[in-house]
């Protein structure tokens, strides 16, 4: 999980995904549509990606992608991100992380 934390801390919004996952594409497009420059790491194309996926699975359970980090902190998968969006807390999290000016 150390490598995951290092990568997640380098940008305001980081998405760990795999290139064949439709929900990963949804999350990337969702943030893009909000005007957020989310950095995506495709674990099936990254060196050490399998190890990072296993580390994420320890925290998120089976099917750990997409795993979204905001401000270096693990938020969770799609359903958690969308819950934050629907209850109005996502905008605050993104502004606090410096990923978004308005929302």
The residues spanned by each domain of the chain are 2-96
Residue 75 · residue 64 · CB < 8 Å = no
Would you state the pLDDT for residue 100? 85
| pLDDT exceeds cutoff 60 at 103 | no
pLDDT at 80 over 80: yes
Which residues 6+ apart lie within 8 Å of 102 measured at CB?
95
> Can you tell me the distance from the alpha carbon of 99 to that of 67, in angstroms, rounded to the nearest whole number?
17
Return the CATH superfamily for domain 2-96.
Glutaredoxin (3.40.30.10)
Half-sphere exposure of 98 (CA within 13 A, CB side): 6
pTM as predicted: 0.93
Question: What does the alpha-carbon distance between residue 25 and residue 40 come to, in Å, rounded to a whole number?
Answer: 10
8 Å CB contact between 69 and 75: yes
């Amino acid at each position: 999980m150390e490598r995951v934390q290092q990568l997640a801390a380098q940008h305001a919004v980081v998405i760990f995904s795999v290139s064949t996952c439709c929900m990963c594409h949804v999350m990337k497009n969702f943030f893009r549509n909000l005007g957020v420059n989310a950095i995506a790491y495709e674990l099936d194309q990254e060196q050490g990606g399998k190890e990072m996926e296993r580390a994420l699975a320890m925290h998120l359970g089976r099917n750990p992608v997409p795993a979204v980090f905001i401000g270096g902190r693990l938020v969770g998968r799609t359903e958690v991100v969308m819950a934050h969006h629907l209850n109005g807390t996502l905008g605050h999290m993104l502004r606090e992380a410096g990923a978004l000016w308005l929302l």
